[in-house]
Structure 1
Amino acid sequence: MIPVHGYDGARVAVLGLGRSGLSAARALRAGGAEVLAWDDNAAARERAAAEGIAVSDLTRPGALDGLATLIVSPGIPHLYPAPNPVIAAAWAAGVPVDNDIGLFFRSFATAGWDDFDTAPRVIAVTGSNGKSTTAALIAHVIGATGRAVQLAGNIGRGVLDIDPPGDGGVVVLELSSYQTDLARALTPDIAVFTNLSPDHLDRHGGQGGYFAAKRRLFSEGGPDRAIIGVDEDEGRFLANQMAMGPGDDRVIRISAGGKLSGPGWSVFARKGFLSEWRKGRQMASIDLRTIAGLPGAHNHQNACAAFAAARCLGLGPKQIEAAFHSFAGLPHRSQVVAERDGVRFVNDSKATNAASAAMALAAFPRIRWICGGLEKEGGLGALTPHLGHVAKAYVIGREAAGFALHLKDIPHEVCTTMAAAVARAAQEAETGETVLLAPAAASFDQYDSFEARGADFIAEVEKTLGA
């Protein structure tokens, strides 16, 4: 646990008692704060009370009097589509609002570091797509070289649940826009921006607000190194904002869309090969086509980001390449779950928007596509260039018929359930094809999470192939 500094003896409120909220309450208490907690869900309140955390209704008049700060869980809206009433009351009372990410960054460094040969470092990864795989890949590469590393944030453990790092330790954080948007402290040593595509638009008041939330990771604290995907205008803008000149190698531009040029530091993937260039010279090259855990161009961008981060830590290209080959990938992200008679079954349930589904579709030459679910804002336009890879779509979800209307001339079948979709796709798939779950939609119409949806896909594949 990382005890929170700066609130010893102070009254602090925690709103929302999920994983991050409970973690924040524990860390605040460990730092000497008097914690009051609230959640609209009675079961969550009971779990907190069972740990000895004082539960207090923060919605009642005067509940925020005398508070030093209000800590808010990431799932609670603080501005759009409308501020939570407790947050609005905190504004009115002049109570600062923060989250567990802000607490982490203000509490991470300790006086004990004075005795270390090498200060611990934080690598923070954000973006629309690929941030989980990128964060996990960075942690894997670091760990494979024998260095102490912890993975936390939106993946793995809560940021305040990790162990205080030792000499030379590295913490890799995956941070969502919900987490970066509110944190009052954001000071990573290395910050990574993968890409941007429409997502969570209602929560951020549109695409501009969504990008602004991501940009805060770079603008608030000024990382020593900024690794920025430049395949979209937002990334190109951000890289330009961070760099002091063309040769400023504090900014590393990455791309999976083509060759990058110029005197600065860049890492790009082209035709399956990763290349590192610095000061106009090629420094390294890796053949990504043979790395099973990183299929497709979208994973090649993840590889570029991870390579750049590892190079910032002083790791050599050969060390990084060897670690790439031992990376197994993440569940529900281009996860090969079975293969029979030349047909692969791939679980990419994490492809919850059109842009991430497009990347999955681009990774395989001929696809039996299982798609559908709770549609997100932004539409399915990003899929259009890749629909030529689809032999047939099998649509799931409560509104499957409506989702299918977006597919127009693509051969498709309304299946509604995962069981029906997997059975039909497996029956019709031919040698060389891939049965791909890449929903391009949220899961909440039928499942509690994308993980539950992916697990159902795996279970149905096993049932179908075992039949």
Structure 2
Amino acid sequence: MIPVVGYKGHQIAVLGLGRSGLATARALREGGAIPICWDDNPAARAAAEDEGFAIKELAKQGAFEGITSLIVSPGIPHLYPTPNPVVKAALAAGVAVDNDIGLFFRSFATRDWDKFDTLPKVVAVTGSNGKSTTSALIHHVLEAANRPCQLAGNIGRGVLDIDPAIDGEVVVLELSSYQTDLARSLTPDIAVFTNLSPDHLDRHAGMGGYFAAKRRLFAEGGPDRAVIGIDEDEGLYLANQLSEGLADDRVIRMSVDQKLTGPGWQVFAKKGFLSEYRKGKQVGSIDLRSVKGLPGVHNHQNACAAYAVCRALGLAPRVIEQAFHSFAGLPHRSQIIAEAGGVTYVNDSKATNVDAAAKALGAFKKIRWICGGLQKDGGLEAVQAATGEVVKAYVIGREAATFAMQLGGVEAEVCTDMETAVAKAVAEAQEGETVLLAPAAASFDQYDSFEKRGDHFAELVKAQLS
């Protein structure tokens, strides 16, 4: 646990008592603060009461009297699409609003660090797609290189749940826009921007607000080094803002769309080959085509980001390459779950938006595509250009018929439920084909989470093949 500093003896309100909210309350109490907790869910309130935390309905008039700060769990919208009443009450009362990420960055460093030979570092990874795989891959490479490290944030443990740092340790954080847009302190040593595509637009009132939430990690944080994907206009703009010119190697530019050269520091992947250039000269390369845990261009982008971070941390290219080959990938992200009769079965349930689904479709050949669910804003136009390898689509979800109608030029069968889709795809798949779950939609019309959707797909595939 990371005890929260700076609030000893102060009453701190905690809104939302899920995994991160309870961890925040514990860390506040460990640091001497007095947590005052609230959640609309009675079961969550009961769990907090069982741990001895005070419960107070924060939306009531005068609830913020004597409160120093309000800590909001990342899943709770605070401003858009409509202001949260508790957050609005805190703002009106002049109470500082923060989240667990802000508390982490103000509390992580301690006086014990004065005894360390090598100061700990924090790597923070954000972006629309690939941040989980990138974060896990960085952590995997560091472990393989015998560097002390921890993985936390939107993946692994909550940020305040991790252990206090030891000499030379690296903490790798995956941070979503929900976590970056409210944190009052953001001070990573290395920050990564993978890419940007439409997502969570209601939460951020459009693409501008969404990008602004991501940008805060760099503009507010001032990292010593930034790894920026420049294949979208926003990344190109961000790299320009953070550097004094192409020769400024505090910014490592990365791409999977173009070869990058020039006087600065660049990492790019073309046709399955990762290349690192510094001062106009190639200084490292990796053949990614044989790295089984990183299939497709989207994973090659993740590899570029992880490689750049690990190089910035002082690891040699061959050490990184060796670790890449032992990376098994993450569940629900281009995860090969079975191979039978010459057919490969892939679970990419994490492809909850059209950009992620398009990248998954680009990673495989001869695809029987299981898709559909709770469609997000923006339609399916962005994914249609990536359907060239789709043999047939099997559409699930409550609005499967509407979803299927948008797949112009693709043979599509409305299946509605996962059981029907998997049974038909398995029965019709031919040798050399891939059955791919890449929904291009959220799961909440039928499942509690994308993980449960992916697990159900895997269970059904294995049952069909047994």
TM-score of the superposed pair, with normalisation by structure 2 = 0.99
1:285 paired with 2:304, answer: no
CA shift for structure 1 position 75: 1.0
* Equivalent position SS for 1:275: strand
- Which residue of 2 is the match for residue 92 of structure 1? 92
1:463 paired with 2:463, answer: yes
Alpha-carbon contact 1:398-1:446 (below 8 Å) kept: yes
Question: Aligned partners of 1:461 and 1:83: how far apart in 2?
Answer: 43
Question: Aligned partners of 1:221 and 1:409: how far apart in 2?
Answer: 46
Cα displacement string for residues 72-93 of structure 1 (whole angstroms, at most 9, x for unaligned residues): 0011111110111010001110
Alpha-carbon contact 2:368-2:435 (below 8 Å) kept: yes
- Which residue of 2 is the match for residue 244 of structure 1? 244
Alpha-carbon contact 1:396-1:416 (below 8 Å) kept: yes
Alpha-carbon contact 1:100-1:183 (below 8 Å) kept: yes
Q: Which amino acid aligns with 1:115?
A: K
Alpha-carbon contact 1:200-1:210 (below 8 Å) kept: yes
Alpha-carbon contact 1:374-1:445 (below 8 Å) kept: yes
Gaps of 5+ in 1: none
* Equivalent position SS for 2:292: coil
- Which residue of 2 is the match for residue 386 of structure 1? 386
- Which residue of 1 is the match for residue 75 of structure 2? 75
Residue pairs, 1:68-467, within 5 angstroms: 68-466=68-466
Q: Which amino acid aligns with 1:182?
A: L
CA shift for structure 1 position 119: 0.6
Alpha-carbon contact 2:14-2:72 (below 8 Å) kept: yes
Question: Aligned partners of 2:255 and 2:224: how far apart in 1?
Answer: 20
1:54 paired with 2:49, answer: no
Alpha-carbon contact 2:4-2:107 (below 8 Å) kept: yes
Cα displacement string for residues 384-411 of structure 1 (whole angstroms, at most 9, x for unaligned residues): 2211110000000111111111112210
Alpha-carbon contact 2:349-2:453 (below 8 Å) kept: yes
Q: Which amino acid aligns with 2:30?
A: A
CA shift for structure 1 position 307: 0.2
Aligned-residue CA RMSD (Å): 0.6
* Equivalent position SS for 1:407: coil
Question: Aligned partners of 1:218 and 1:429: how far apart in 2?
Answer: 46
Question: Aligned partners of 2:222 and 2:399: how far apart in 1?
Answer: 45
Question: Aligned partners of 2:182 and 2:127: how far apart in 1?
Answer: 16
Question: Aligned partners of 2:382 and 2:195: how far apart in 1?
Answer: 14
Cα displacement string for residues 97-151 of structure 1 (whole angstroms, at most 9, x for unaligned residues): 0000000000000000000000100000000000000000000000100011100
- Which residue of 1 is the match for residue 66 of structure 2? 66
Question: Aligned partners of 2:403 and 2:60: how far apart in 1?
Answer: 43
Alpha-carbon contact 2:384-2:407 (below 8 Å) kept: no
Question: Aligned partners of 2:426 and 2:35: how far apart in 1?
Answer: 54
Cα displacement string for residues 358-397 of structure 1 (whole angstroms, at most 9, x for unaligned residues): 0000001210000000000122121122111100000001
Question: Aligned partners of 1:19 and 1:195: how far apart in 2?
Answer: 27
Cα displacement string for residues 237-274 of structure 1 (whole angstroms, at most 9, x for unaligned residues): 00000001210000000111121121110000001000
Question: Aligned partners of 1:322 and 1:388: how far apart in 2?
Answer: 33
* Equivalent position SS for 1:356: helix
* Equivalent position SS for 1:182: coil
Question: Aligned partners of 1:86 and 1:400: how far apart in 2?
Answer: 37
Identity of aligned residues (%): 71
Q: Which amino acid aligns with 1:338?
A: A
- Which residue of 2 is the match for residue 24 of structure 1? 24
Gaps of 5+ in 2: none
Alpha-carbon contact 1:199-1:378 (below 8 Å) kept: no
Question: Aligned partners of 2:414 and 2:16: how far apart in 1?
Answer: 38
Question: Aligned partners of 1:421 and 1:10: how far apart in 2?
Answer: 55
* Equivalent position SS for 1:444: coil
Question: Aligned partners of 1:378 and 1:52: how far apart in 2?
Answer: 45
Question: Aligned partners of 1:378 and 1:316: how far apart in 2?
Answer: 42
Question: Aligned partners of 1:289 and 1:315: how far apart in 2?
Answer: 22
The size of the alignment, in residue pairs, is: 466
* Equivalent position SS for 1:237: helix
Question: Aligned partners of 2:448 and 2:77: how far apart in 1?
Answer: 20
Q: Which amino acid aligns with 1:152?
A: A
Question: Aligned partners of 2:432 and 2:380: how far apart in 1?
Answer: 26
Alpha-carbon contact 1:38-1:57 (below 8 Å) kept: yes
* Equivalent position SS for 1:249: coil
CA shift for structure 1 position 221: 1.6
Cα displacement string for residues 33-55 of structure 1 (whole angstroms, at most 9, x for unaligned residues): 01100000000000100111111
* Equivalent position SS for 1:376: coil
* Equivalent position SS for 1:301: helix
* Equivalent position SS for 1:160: helix
Q: Which amino acid aligns with 1:421?
A: A
Question: Aligned partners of 1:23 and 1:152: how far apart in 2?
Answer: 13
Q: Which amino acid aligns with 1:221?
A: G
* Equivalent position SS for 2:181: helix
Alpha-carbon contact 1:13-1:70 (below 8 Å) kept: yes
Alpha-carbon contact 2:380-2:407 (below 8 Å) kept: no
TM-score of the superposed pair, with normalisation by structure 1 = 0.99
Question: Aligned partners of 2:433 and 2:401: how far apart in 1?
Answer: 25
Structure 1 runs of 4+ with >6 Å offset: none
